[in-house]
Amino acid sequence: MSERDTSGLRRVCAVNDVSPESPEVVEVDGQFVAVFESDGEYYALDNACPHQGGPLGQGKVEDECVYCPWHGWQFDVETGEHVQGIEDATSYEVTVDSGDVYVAL
């Protein structure tokens, strides 16, 4: 039986699909979502960097921040906040249940 209410959420991947070194990028209804793991917690951001659209899911993750591989813009993986305060990435609320990762789009 499900431990959490996942109705209204979209399953994006299994927890095993994601590791700290290797975020997972999943397409959901034409949107690309990047799923990150950090210290056993899971986070999700819109894959498109707000700067010029680069792929956040391919970025280096360090100290709970992801760096967009295109120009190095730095975002908090949990909140999507742009550390330098210019433009935040879009973050999604994540629920983990029975080995699966769900996001609220």
27 near other proteins, rule: CB under 8 A: no
Report, in Å, the least distance between residue 77 CB and other proteins: 14
Report, in Å, the least distance between residue 85 CB and other proteins: 8
Of residues 76 and 102, the one with the C-beta less far from other proteins = 76
1 near other proteins, rule: CB under 8 A: no
**Would you say the C-alpha torsion 77, 28, 99, 5 has a positive or negative sign?**
positive
Which segment (10-18, 34-42, 52-60, 93-101) binds other proteins by CB under 8 A?
Answer: 52-60
Which segment (2-10, 18-26, 28-36, 66-74) binds other proteins by CB under 8 A?
Answer: 66-74
- Among 64, 44, 68, smallest CA distance to 55 is for 68
